[in-house]
Structure 1
Amino acid sequence: MDPTVGDSDGGHVRILSSTDIDETRQLVADVFCDHGLKQIGADERLNYHHVLIGGAAVEFSIMNYGARVSVEPGPLESFYLVQIPLEGVDVVLADNSEAISHKGCASVHSPHHHLRMCWSADCKKLVVRVDKVALERQAVNLTGGALRGSLEFDLAMDVESGPGASWGRLAASFVDEIRRTPSILKSPIVAAQFEQLLMTSLLEWQPNNHLTAFREQQVVGSPRYVRLVEEYMEANCHLPITLENLVSISGVSGRSLFAGFRKFRGISPMNHLRNIRMSRVRSELETPSTESSVTEVATRWGFYELGRFAAAYKSRFGEYPSETLKRYSE
């Protein structure tokens, strides 16, 4: 039987499904890596279903097998993996560590650990695949220096309370938004912001062997690097800008950059960039073309949640964007 593969919105969201064990293994291998897949319950009918949401550094999957299966990829090598059960149970073995993963406890896997899993028949997961090179580069940006040894996370993530729960909600909200509006991934600005936020919060919130370095990095107070980054933002705000870009321009670590902006400007670098882009929106609304609309101008500058954008715009400029456009269109 041929597998079912469906695409939505240019391939950003794909639907994969199959009832054949070999086809299922190949479909999953194409998304993640080669692995062993065995059906444990002989009396159960395999019914693999997989919603794949693609990105550059971060990729989301909502998947289930519909039967008890053993999955053994071994070392992941090129990516980190966060698995959040939405239903059912998964017994996870990573080297010599074991965790029972369920709705209240996710699992986080580092690339060099030997991974083996046993999914229950009713197990359904939100799986977040994070590129190894991108995440470790983000870690270097946050600490301001090369990592000493490999980056390793604690296996278990509490997704019922605390920072783990916040990270799980953040990932789920991104998935929900992308499934509602897949076209937002066509904006490199929006996609890069999603990925940067998820990677930074994972490094900061999930216990790992470099967490102390992330939290203890000293802030170097120098107005010059703040001005350099501001000038870069002003000149390039129409382009995708990431934390990596800003760190490279500033010459300081990501943590120092954030601390410097808070100290000297009272906001984070990305909020400062948002303000610059909001000012560009206002400038365009004040000089509208015949076909101009608030939606068109706002989305061109990376503002896709129009309700929140309108509220933030009014807070800053004292009027809604529609009011600005109306005044200058009359």
Structure 2
Amino acid sequence: MDDITHEPFGSLRPVPPAGMPLPGQLVLETADLLTARDHLSRFLWPHTVIPTARRPQVAFRHCSASIGQVSMHALHYGAAVQIEAHPDDSYLFLVLLHGAGTLSQDGFTGPLNPQIIRAMNPTGPATMRFVAGEVNLTLRIPSTLLHGWLEETTGQRVPAPVYFEQHSDPGTGNAPGLRRFLHFLCSEFEQRTAGIVSSPTVCRQLERTLISLVMMELPHNHSAALDAERTGPAPGYIRNVEQYIRSNADQPVTLRDLAGIAGVSERTLQAGFRRFRQTTPMEYLRDYRLDLAHQGLLAGAVGGRSVTDIALTCGFNHLGKFAKCYRARFGETPSETRRRALTTTI
């Protein structure tokens, strides 16, 4: 426990304390542990911290950066310490960059090293022990982000809070994609110019990518459901909406109406259709109406039905928009389809 280890972090070379991540994002340096505790409790879980060696050489350093609502914290205490943390409504994820340590929570105790990202669930207190000179990178992700991502991805309400599983050191490490992505983010924040992380639009996408990697690469109690969603059929709420569209294509229909039929939020419905149908609910409705109109023009030409009559019957009230969408889908105007049908039947 007292030996300093040097292990790779993703594709990073070993990181000494003097070269800890996010150097340009310094928040606090102090030689007082109480000051460090009070300061860091405002950013992470409330906690106590005590030195575990005589005459501790405290050299606390905290650098921090945020991607949306996700915050990253590079931490160095200098001295060997023990931390007792009490959860709030967030998850913490810790990867050691330099040194050695252990994490204990919910009856599990495991080593901390740069090959493993450890999760701390908001279910009970966690104890961390760090040797002198240790450096770590800790992520804080609000529970609402993880649960919102899970609901949007599966299209179902989350039946139970996410609980990340703890495991012994597998030797080869875990979550390689997540570790590489963290390395990339830290590198971006270290640029002289803020680069892509200065764009709010890009940061929203980076936040989503980060959460996706956490949820897909770290095992938890919903991992099996995510695996099933990737390979299984579309959930029932999507099929219900499709049936409703087929039965009511001629009626005024809004996204809110479809979400009500599905029993999920509009955002979840949109995500479900993109995932399983590679389109959106309203695009699915539009294309179904266009297909009906196409069939109607082919079959109704002999009966003398006009393009306008068929368009209105299929739920299109804006004839100019109907003609534009129709041509984009079928490569000809509605009138051309009608004339072609007449020529074929004569």
Give TM class, smaller chain: 0.5 to 0.7
The 2-side partners of 1:20 and 1:26 are apart by 10
| Aligned equivalent of 1:203 | 215
| Pair 1:89-2:100 in alignment | yes
| Pair 1:261-2:278 in alignment | yes
Deviates more, 1:176-185 or 1:33-42: 176-185
SS at match of 1:127: strand
- List gaps (5 residues or longer) in structure 1: 1-11, 226-246, 263-330
The 1-side partners of 2:35 and 2:194 are apart by 27
| Aligned equivalent of 2:153 | 142
TM-score for the superposition, normalised by structure 2: 0.60
| Aligned equivalent of 1:153 | 164
The 2-side partners of 1:126 and 1:90 are apart by 13
| Pair 1:172-2:183 in alignment | yes
SS at match of 1:31: coil
* Shift in alpha-carbon separation, 1:249–1:43, aligned structure 2, 3 A: closer
Structure 1 letter corresponding to 2:94: Q
Alpha carbons 1:144, 1:253 under 8 Å: kept = yes
The 2-side partners of 1:160 and 1:56 are apart by 33
Alpha carbons 1:153, 1:209 under 8 Å: kept = yes
Query: Identity rate of aligned residues, in percent?
Result: 18
1:143-189 deviation line (CA, Å, top 9, x unaligned): 11111212101224879757612211111211211221436444221
Query: 1:53 Cα shift?
Result: 0.6
The 1-side partners of 2:119 and 2:168 are apart by 7
1:82-102 deviation line (CA, Å, top 9, x unaligned): 100011112111121111111
The 1-side partners of 2:171 and 2:181 are apart by 13
Alpha carbons 2:116, 2:173 under 8 Å: kept = no
The 2-side partners of 1:159 and 1:130 are apart by 25
| Aligned equivalent of 1:15 | 27
Query: 1:250 Cα shift?
Result: 6.9
The 2-side partners of 1:36 and 1:126 are apart by 19
TM-score for the superposition, normalised by structure 1: 0.63
Say which of 13, 38, 51 aligns to 1:26: 38
| Pair 1:251-2:238 in alignment | no
| Pair 1:43-2:55 in alignment | yes
Q: Compare CA radii of gyration and give the structure with the larger one.
A: 2
Structure 1 letter corresponding to 2:31: T
Structure 2 letter corresponding to 1:220: A
1:18-55 deviation line (CA, Å, top 9, x unaligned): 10111111111121132111111122310001111123
| Aligned equivalent of 2:225 | 213
The 2-side partners of 1:65 and 1:202 are apart by 26
| Aligned equivalent of 1:101 | 112
* Shift in alpha-carbon separation, 1:21–1:98, aligned structure 2, 3 A: same
